[in-house]
Chains A and B, each alone.
Chain A
Amino acid sequence: MAEFLLEAKNVSVTFGSGATKVEAVKNVSLTLRAGEPIGIVGESGSGKSTLARVLAGLQVPTEGEIFFNGEPVYKGAKSYTGEARRQVQMVFQDPYGSLNPQLTGLNAVAEAVRIHDKTNKELSETRALELLRRMGIAELDAIKKPRQLSGGQRQRVSVARALSASPTVLLADEPTSAIDQSAQAQLLNLFRGLLDDGLAIVLVSHDLGVIRYLTNRVYVMKDGVFVESGITEEIFNDPREEYTKILLASIPGTLGTAARQKLQQG
């Protein structure tokens, strides 16, 4: 057993070439232990989603490597293979765009269950209902199509779908940005339950409140590099980098007040 469940070593991602060359991620390294919640925080364009896609096996890095359980992921392959493939699952930002509009929540999850478990229709539907119920979606709502569900419900269907593979790592790219505050609280409660069950979560977000609430460690990303990383609480209480200080001071309400005062004092 490797020390880290998931590890990124010196990962760079470059798009285009010549004048249009964009270095989205520049030489970043990250570690994730089993059952650990970590956060990647940064503004749009900082490269956090690209990094999440690399971790999810959706984007081949230009340089560097991802190790899952100590095994290289992209060595001679374009993505995760075999058993590792089901163990890393992703939830996307947009619950409106990530579900098939033609399928009911139940069918969408059952389809994923069938692919991973290779079971029949009946068994897959039972398991799908179980997953959806765990996500707080009752049978009555499970047979509805995405357009009949609220944003929060759709996002929970997406999570149920990701969980159908019984993953050990859940990558969530801005899962709460598109939903209401009360739906957000509901989703975060579910994530906490998943952590209790031993799932590791990588939360990508620009919402520092969500990061503070859920994660133990955080990586602060800017222009493709990690400017600061460490224990979430320590970073919130005592940020070292100027950029992190500004980021914290931008949080509206009580959470940002202390950071704003500190920033003004210099």
Chain B
Amino acid sequence: MSTPNKPLIQIKDVVIGIPHKRRPTLIIVNNANFDINYGEMVGIVGESGSGKTMICRTMIGTLERRGGKILSGDVVFEGQSLATASESDWKKLRGKSIGYVPQSALAGPNPVLTIEAQLAEALRNTGDTKDIKARSKELLDLVKIRRVDTVMKQYPYQLSGGMRQRVMIACALATSPKLLIADEPTTGLDVTVQSQIMDLLKEIRSSMGTAIVLISHDLALIDEVCDRVVVMHAGATVEVGSVKDLEKPRHPYTIALNSSRIDIAEPGSELVTIKGSAPSVGEWNPGCRFADRCSIVQSDCRIGDHPALIGGSGTHQTACIHTELLERI
């Protein structure tokens, strides 16, 4: 970690919407706010539909392909504003300074390309076209694939899910990115494979100094591998803090999420569930979007805008305006 505690990428009050010809623009993320420092491993947790993947897309510039748009706020990567970046600006960043490992390992690699061709494509992106074969092999070594020569000639369907995900990580690492975004990289993979992939990410972080964003809904997993955690609910960041901070969560949503964990529950005991379901995208009431599901909701929680994060960047931040009542939960 060359320059710790210095932000590599900053998500600043980002509002993401999907414009529509006839209907008003659908706001899908509102109040997203957090930094990721050089060499840091940050987890983003939240339910499906909380905006985790959308935030990712702002960091790799694929938001507009999906019809999304940053309406206000900014994403700043090493001092460069990404909200207004053009496609040609993105071409210099995506797959170069910023790597991406998609969610679905099984569908990730191109099915009609051999692993060799796949890696070669990623490597040519660096602009350096020398020794591509040798460098491909190095990459496969890096992600701990054995029988490298055989695997190079194989097609994705001949590999297991874990191997495919390793290949995807190898592709993302081809350009030695400063930031690697992994969107639920182990969903659908076995626990043993999951722990191998996590060990691999940790190793990459410490050997290459890559900052890693890990998106997951598995709190136990994030606890184990990340330095800091960003909790999202209904398109807003509701809590940001170190893994240690999050042991004593300061937002009712995080508290509820924590107590629904089965890995710490007594077998057969009643599991705590979060009341109701997350409000549908864009169908947000005024005030805090967790209010309808919150057990300590007060009348002033339902007025105005969704509360912003309280506390300075780098500290334990929460968007709850009634933290004094948290002990009642």
Contacts of B267 in A (CB 8 A): 212-214, 232-233
CA distance A249 to B199 in the complex (A): 13
A-B contact pairs, 19 of them (CB 8 A): A44-B161, A44-B189, A45-B160, A150-B277, A180-B47, A181-B217, A181-B257, A182-B257, A184-B262, A209-B263, A212-B262, A213-B268, A250-B194, A250-B195, A252-B223, A252-B224, A252-B263, A253-B223, A254-B264
Contacts of A249 in B (CB 8 A): 195
Say whether, besides A181-B257, A209-B263, A253 and B220 are in contact (CB < 8 Å).
yes
Asked if A185 and B188 make an inter-chain contact with CB atoms under 8 angstroms apart, the answer reads no
CA distance A186 to B263 in the complex (A): 15
Closest CB in chain B relative to A228 CB, distance in Å: 15
Is A251 close to B, CB under 8 A? yes
Task: Give chain B interface residues in 179-237, CB to chain A under 8 Å.
Answer: 188-195, 198, 217-221, 223-225
Task: Give chain A interface residues in 150-202, CB to chain B under 8 Å.
Answer: 150-153, 177, 180-186, 188-189, 192
Given A209-B262, A253-B223: 7 more A-B contacts, CB < 8 Å: A180-B217, A181-B260, A181-B261, A192-B270, A213-B265, A252-B218, A252-B225
Is B310 close to A, CB under 8 A? no
Is A115 close to B, CB under 8 A? no
Say whether, besides A182-B256, A213-B268, A233-B267, A252 and B273 are in contact (CB < 8 Å).
no
Task: Give chain A interface residues in 210-266, CB to chain B under 8 Å.
Answer: 210, 212-214, 232-233, 246-247, 249-256
Partner of A181, one of B190, B219, B268: B219
Asked if B271 and A189 make an inter-chain contact with CB atoms under 8 angstroms apart, the answer reads yes
Interface size for B (C-beta < 8 A) is 38
Q: Which residues in A have some Cβ–Cβ distance to B below 8 Å?
A: 43-45, 150-153, 177, 180-186, 188-189, 192, 206-210, 212-214, 232-233, 246-247, 249-256
CA distance A182 to B270 in the complex (A): 13
Contacts of A250 in B (CB 8 A): 191-192, 194-195
Instruction: Name the prevailing secondary structure of the A interface residues.
Output: helix
Asked if B195 and A177 make an inter-chain contact with CB atoms under 8 angstroms apart, the answer reads no
CA distance A43 to B161 in the complex (A): 11
Closest CB in chain A relative to B245 CB, distance in Å: 17
Residue in chain B with minimal CB distance to A141: B277
Residue in chain A with minimal CB distance to B191: A250
Is B298 close to A, CB under 8 A? no
Is B5 close to A, CB under 8 A? no
Is B48 close to A, CB under 8 A? yes
Asked if A206 and B195 make an inter-chain contact with CB atoms under 8 angstroms apart, the answer reads no
Asked if B277 and A43 make an inter-chain contact with CB atoms under 8 angstroms apart, the answer reads no
Is B71 close to A, CB under 8 A? no
CA distance A212 to B264 in the complex (A): 10
Asked if A153 and B277 make an inter-chain contact with CB atoms under 8 angstroms apart, the answer reads yes
Say whether, besides A186-B273, A213-B267, A213-B268, A247 and B191 are in contact (CB < 8 Å).
yes
Contacts of B273 in A (CB 8 A): 182, 185-186, 189
Asked if A150 and B48 make an inter-chain contact with CB atoms under 8 angstroms apart, the answer reads yes
CA distance A184 to B189 in the complex (A): 17
Closest CB in chain A relative to B280 CB, distance in Å: 9
Asked if A254 and B263 make an inter-chain contact with CB atoms under 8 angstroms apart, the answer reads yes
Asked if A182 and B47 make an inter-chain contact with CB atoms under 8 angstroms apart, the answer reads yes
Contacts of A212 in B (CB 8 A): 262, 267
Closest CB in chain B relative to A39 CB, distance in Å: 11
Closest CB in chain A relative to B218 CB, distance in Å: 7
Is B83 close to A, CB under 8 A? no
CA distance A13 to B188 in the complex (A): 24
Asked if B271 and A252 make an inter-chain contact with CB atoms under 8 angstroms apart, the answer reads no
Residue in chain B with minimal CB distance to A186: B273
CA distance A208 to B220 in the complex (A): 13
Partner of A44, one of B47, B190, B223, B265: B190
